[in-house]
Amino acid sequence: SQQGEEDPQALSIQEGENATMNCSYKTSINNLQWYRQNSGRGLVHLILIRSNEREKHSGRLRVTLDTSKKSSSLLITASRAADTASYFCAGPNAGGTSYGKLTFGQGTILTVHP
Amino acid sequence: DAGITQSPRHKVTETGTPVTLRCHQTENHRYMYWYRQDPGHGLRLIHYSYGVKDTDKGEVSDGYSVSRSKTEDFLLTLESATSSQTSVYFCAISGRLTGSSYNEQFFGPGTRLTVL
């Protein structure tokens, strides 16, 4: 089951601009996570936001969660060329015992031009 | 990368041959996962393990088997490789055995498998 759907699929911006990526999900969750994947590498965990949190910050990252709309957004402020990567949201698998299983969206490809 | 390695990193094989991919962790994490990543499909869970000798299927398990005989190693086997199994395979780990939250996953560098 697709727990996360990212929007847009691709985003191209200039260095210094802000980048916003959105994620919608289908079932109730107790947390939602965002990951980054640089080309040819494994995913790296960025931030986890719990269902009782509305906003969370980590450095230049800001994540919001709206459980009523089943949506989350990831904002990267003052983007840098090194932020060029794919970004994925992930939520716990729906139904059954979780065992930490996640369902990932298809990702947003962010390109930051110097 | 949180003490997680995958081997081999690249492999080219022929249809019908068996292939085993290895995931090794030094983090003492309880949970281990195998994913495949394909264009247009994102990451899909193949199998996972919630302890030594405890494994279960994910959403795309057909044609794959796994084994976990010790905490550190999680093996993914393609019994008879097919061209549709050409993909990039990622192992991930989560949750230390000493009991912290198992929510975040840590990924290995991936194995690029080509089945001709």
For B24-49, what is each residue's pLDDT tens digit? 999 889 899 999 999 877 899 999 99
The pLDDT of residue A93 is 72
Average pLDDT over residues B79-88: 96
Q: Do B104 and A101 touch (CB under 8 A)?
A: no
Picking from B42, B58, B108, the nearest residue to A42 by CB comes out as B108
Q: Do A101 and B58 touch (CB under 8 A)?
A: yes
Q: What is the pLDDT of residues B62-81, one digit of tens each?
A: 999 999 999 999 999 999 99
Q: Do B48 and A99 touch (CB under 8 A)?
A: yes
Task: Spell out, as residue ranges, where chain A has pLDDT lower than 50.
Answer: 1-2
Q: B102 CB near a chain A CB, below 8 Å?
A: yes
SS3 state at A81: helix
The pLDDT of residue A1 is 43
Distance CA A55, CA A59 (A): 13
Q: Which contiguous run of DSSP H or E holds residue B114?
A: strand B111-115
Q: What percent of chain B has pLDDT over 90?
A: 81
The pLDDT of residue A6 is 86
Q: Which residues contact B99 (CB under 8 A, 6 or more apart)?
A: none
Does residue A55 contact residue A67 with C-beta atoms inside 8 Å?
no
Q: Do A100 and B1 touch (CB under 8 A)?
A: no
Q: Do A31 and B48 touch (CB under 8 A)?
A: no
Type of residue numbered A35: Y
The model's confidence at residue B61, banded by pLDDT at 50, 70 and 90, is very high
Torsion angle of C-alpha atoms B22, A3, A108, A23, degrees rounded to 10: -150
How far is the CA of A37 from the CAs of B1, B63, B111, in angstroms? 12, 27, 15
Distance of residue A105 Cα from the nearest chain B Cα, in angstroms = 6
Average pLDDT over residues B90-114: 83
